[in-house]
Amino acid sequence: MTFHTIIATYQHPQAAIAYKDCYCYDEPNFNLIAEPLVHDATEVIIGAMICARLSKPKENPKQIKLTFSEDPNYFQSINDPVCKDNVVVHLTYVKAEDDYSMYSSEVIAPEAAAEQAALAELVVEDPLVPLCPHLMDYFPSPPKEFYVKITPIENKALHLLS
C-alpha cells in the first residue's frame, strides 16, 4: 500500500505571484519550497471542502493535510464515512497534457459531501485536476486512480453551521 502525506498552505508566503491564490506545499526531501497545487487542483480542493462543510466560500483554511493512497481500503480503515473532519476525493487518470497528468475528480466521502458535490456538478463541471511531474516523487508512474483525504488543519469544521 502506498500512501504519502503533505501539508499545503493557502497563499504560501514564498509562492510565485502566479500561484498566490493556490495551495502550495514544501517538501524538504525533494528541495521543494512553495510547490503549487495549481489553480484547477486548488479549485477542486476548495470545492470538496465546501461540499463537506469544512470551509466556506472565500474562507479557505490556511493549511490542509493531504494524504494520498492508491488503496481505497486505506481510507476505509482509518476514515469513518460519516467523519466530519475531512473529505475524500477519488482521482482517475484521464490523459497527459504538456508536463501534467490530468485527472477527473469525485468526492466520495462523507456521503453528504459526495451528494452535494454531485448536485453542484450538474450546474458547473469540475475542472480536470492537473498534477505536475512532482507526482512522480510519490508514485513510480502516474497512477490510474488514487484517493486523497483532505483535512483542514485550521478553520474548524463548519458542519454545525447548517
With a CB cutoff of 8 Å and minimum separation 6, the contacts of 60 are: 10, 46, 49, 155
104 in any annotated domain: yes
Residue 76 to residue 87: CA distance in whole angstroms: 12
User: Which domain range does residue 146 map to?
Assistant: 3-152
- The CA-to-CA distance between both ends of the chain, in Å, stands at 37
21-72 pLDDT, tens digit each = 999 999 998 999 999 999 999 999 999 999 999 998 889 999 999 999 888 7
Evaluate whether residue 97 is within a structural domain: yes
Q: Which residues contact 28 (CB under 8 A, 6 or more apart)?
A: none
* Residue 159 falls inside a structural domain: no
Give per-residue pLDDT as tens, 98-135. 989 999 999 988 888 888 888 888 888 888 999 988 88
Q: How many structural domains compose the chain?
A: 1
Query: Does 162 map to a domain?
Result: no
